[in-house]
Chains A and B, each alone.
Chain A
Amino acid sequence: MLKVLVKKQLAEVFKKYFYDAKKNKMRSRWAIAAWFLFFFVIMAGLIGGTFAFMSVKLCKGLAPIGMGWLYFLLMSGIAIVLGAFGSIFNTYSSLYLSKDNDLLLSMPIPVSSIIASRLISVYLLGTMYASAAFLPALIVYWVTAGITAARMICGIVLYLIITIIVLLLSCLLGWIVAKISLKLKNKSFITVLASLAFIGAYYFFYFKANNMVKDMIVNAVLYGEKIKGTAYWLYRFGRIGEGDFPAAAIFSAVTALLCAAVWMILSRSFLDITTSEGKTEKVRYVEKTVKERSAFESFLRKEFGRFTSSANYMLNCGLGILLMPAFGVLILINGKAILAVLNEIFTMREGFAEILVCTALCALVSMINPSASSVSLEGKNLWIPQSLPIHPKTVLRAKAALQLILSVPPMLFAVICVTAVMQNPIAEKLMICLIPLLYTVFCTAFGSYLGVKMPIINWTNETTPIKQSGFIAIAIFGSWAITVLFAAFYLWFGYKIGITGYLTLWAVLLAAFSLILFRWLETKGSRRFEEL
């Protein structure tokens, strides 16, 4: 039974790799291979590469002085945080909110098998993130300190222990979120706030990491002695990577015990949580004066309602709403110093500091992309706009309008902060304002285009259209790639035509592409939406 459920669960997780929703058929072998290669490049190349670089720095400083255990302790901590962070948002919905809960619970399937199959998908996601950080660290250590049988076996055991700790942490956090959300009225907003606090803490440590690493290498012996004295078991944990068999055995046993405890908690509460309707009070209906609205306004309100009803949606498609004002404030406080440093670094390319600020703003606005998911999120409700007397382009306009309303005000705030700090001539300032604003419009058009072009209507968990689909990956990574090109082209040839000329060129390009994409949405896109 478990095998069948796991197969179903994995088929759902990796559906997009095997199945082409657009053509409604299985992908070819080459296409499947290409999708997996793309995924591998992102995970191993991009994330893994970053951690490999960090590992080399740390390992070279720690391994030769016999502090390999401290290196493993640090890298394990990073892998655990990354793994748990990467899958925390997925855990709650994967474990408890799947649409097939009722169907599976009504069948003669042991609840334990359902939980186990769900846990496997959570485990895979957590392992994926943890591996991106820990596997490079392990390989770097083997290369730097030399490989022995003990180091190899214990290293692999440590890796497995880390993946299980990630799973346990994700489950506990998912369980806590589930317990809390059953008692909350404004679940989505509170979940967003709690998650943002977590993200804030994460990035705080992330940005401090470089200094911490340097400090750690310089004072490795001192810190090492302190940890040995006050947290002996952390020392033993790190020792596993160095080939300490007894430590590996002890921590394997402890992890197994923790696994059993978490399993007990989940098994006891799973049914209650999945079948509970929550304990919020019933809202009494009181007739109020109704305001008549246009069809567009009505659809726009509907899009807002959809966005604010889901913490998952807000967090994954609206994070930039908070990051942009934060960036604006950062520039207001430290902008002059940051620009001075950047100008000093890039003296050969005048104006590159301003280009980098624009790039940062564009990259941040790429993180607001509800329009990419919103067509797919219609899901089984698609019959409503299709059967109503409303032109598909009005529906698509409402979806695009949501993104513009969410992204233009924070972008405006950020560009005002940026221009307040910059000492450039007025024409340059205007262009520095214009580019991020045009990019905001372009991202909206690009996201809307992808949403209509590559929709996934038949999903069982809203996480699929929100964060696990090709269109959302292209919307984010594609937009980031364009911002990278924007900066890179300036370094390459843009500086020759001057900052105003270069920004004008991009303004024309962004405006032209936005117009083309919006035109497509109004014509072919509308027809496509009609036929979904």
Chain B
Amino acid sequence: MLKIEHLTKTYGEKKAVDDLSLHIHPGEIYGFIGHNGAGKSTTIKSAVGILKFDAGTVTINGKSLTEDPLGCKRDLAYIPDNPDLYDFMSGIKFLNFIADVFAVPAAERQEKIRKYADLFELTGDLAQPISAYSHGMKQKLAVIAAWLHSPKLIVMDEPFVGLDPKASHHLKEMMREHCDSGGAIFFSTHVLEVAEKLCDKVAIVKQGKLVKTGTMDEVKGDDSLEEVFLELEAE
């Protein structure tokens, strides 16, 4: 579903991502772990077409991101680390805006908005301007927007930050459902317990380079993910 091969991205002299390769298959929840500044967000932004990269290829659902960026973007949804949404819109206007861009039929979008807004207890606030939303409410709105067009691939940067425990729980369930129905999820997180419980596969990145990847069992063995991560960081 998402194939990143030999991705390299530099900022001036600094290599933020260095020859990184990952392959995320349909049905997989793929966790992306690393310390601050390790290159997670740069990799994610490059993979969703926001950042131009210097070398390597990104393929989404069989389409090259460089050659067919719009085709790739139609198949994915992205949630950034900080949900900076259009503050001047109301929640419902933002959702309809996203649905229009993805050409989601009216009946389908209404049903989904109803379902997810109720789930995240956001229905009552949908007419409010986004400027009045808390960080968590914006995050919930970004999640609903991401799920609105039934993307094949969902890429998220720290999706649990700002969410209350109930909403986090719902998001985890939604992630699992999405993958069970053939989709794929690639997300970064600092919460290793969540990654350990939720992810099918995990990749650990350090100074822009992939240091370990594989199924959860392959990566952590008998240790906890936290122990493995700290060990790799110390090397």
Contact = CB atoms under 8 A, between A and B. Distances in A.
B100 A388 contact: no
A294 interface: yes
A530 B110 CA distance: 31
A232 B119 CA distance: 72
Given A389-B70, A389-B74, A391-B70, A384 B85 contact: yes
A294 B225 CA distance: 46
Contacts of A293: 100
B188 to A, nearest CB: 15
B124 interface: yes
B90 A302 contact: no
A285 B92 contact: yes
B176 interface: no
Interface of A: 277, 282-287, 289-295, 297-299, 301-302, 305-306, 309-310, 379-381, 383-384, 386-391, 530-531
Nearest to B74: A389
Contacts of B70: 389-391
Contacts of A391: 70
B42 interface: no
B97 A283 contact: no
B101 A387 contact: no
Contact of A306 (B45, B88, B106): B88
A389 B50 contact: no
Given A290-B106, A292-B103, 17 more contacts: A284-B127, A285-B126, A290-B96, A291-B106, A292-B100, A298-B100, A299-B101, A302-B89, A380-B84, A381-B85, A383-B78, A383-B80, A387-B73, A388-B101, A389-B101, A390-B73, A390-B101
Nearest to B106: A290
A396 to B, nearest CB: 15
B3 interface: no
A287 B127 CA distance: 9
B114 interface: yes
Nearest to A282: B128
B184 to A, nearest CB: 17
B90 A381 contact: no
Interface in B91-114: 91-93, 96-103, 105-106, 109-110, 114
A302 B93 CA distance: 9
Contact of B132 (A277, A291, A297): A277
Q: Which 3 residue pairs are nearest across A and B when measured between Cβ atoms? A: A309-B88, A389-B73, A298-B100
Interface of B: 45, 48-50, 52, 70-74, 78, 80, 82, 84-86, 88-93, 96-103, 105-106, 109-110, 114, 123-128, 132
A264 B98 CA distance: 47
A383 B50 contact: yes
Contacts of B110: 287, 290
A283 B90 contact: yes
A384 B102 CA distance: 13
Contact of A298 (B90, B92, B97): B97
B106 A387 contact: no
Given A283-B127, A286-B127, A302-B86, A292 B93 contact: no
A289 B106 contact: yes
A217 to B, nearest CB: 51
Contacts of B109: 290
B124 A387 contact: no
B87 to A, nearest CB: 8
A98 to B, nearest CB: 15
Given A384-B85, A389-B74, A531 B52 contact: yes
Nearest to A308: B88
B159 to A, nearest CB: 15
B86 to A, nearest CB: 6
Given A283-B90, A290-B106, A295 B114 contact: no
A283 B72 CA distance: 37
Contacts of A380: 82, 84
A295 B101 contact: yes
B100 A294 contact: yes
Contacts of A284: 124, 127
Contacts of A530: 52
A289 B105 CA distance: 12
9 contacts: A277-B132, A290-B109, A292-B105, A302-B86, A387-B50, A388-B73, A389-B70, A389-B73, A391-B70
B84 A381 contact: yes
Contacts of A290: 96, 99, 106, 109-110
A292 B126 CA distance: 18
Given A292-B100, A383-B50, A310 B88 contact: yes
B101 A298 contact: yes
B103 A305 contact: no
Contacts of A298: 96-97, 100-101
A290 B92 CA distance: 10
Which of B48, B72, B80, B86 has most A Cβ within 10 Å?
B86
B186 to A, nearest CB: 14
A452 to B, nearest CB: 16
Contacts of A286: 127
Contact of B123 (A277, A285, A301, A379): A285
Contacts of A309: 88
B102 to A, nearest CB: 7
Contact of B97 (A289, A302, A386): A302
Nearest to A390: B101
A306 B89 CA distance: 8
A189 to B, nearest CB: 13
A295 B96 CA distance: 11
A387 B88 contact: no
Nearest to B132: A277
A380 B123 CA distance: 26
Given A295-B100, A387-B49, A391-B70, A381 B106 contact: no
B50 to A, nearest CB: 5
Given A295-B100, A386-B49, A390-B101, A381 B86 contact: yes
Contacts of A310: 88
Contacts of B100: 292-295, 297-298
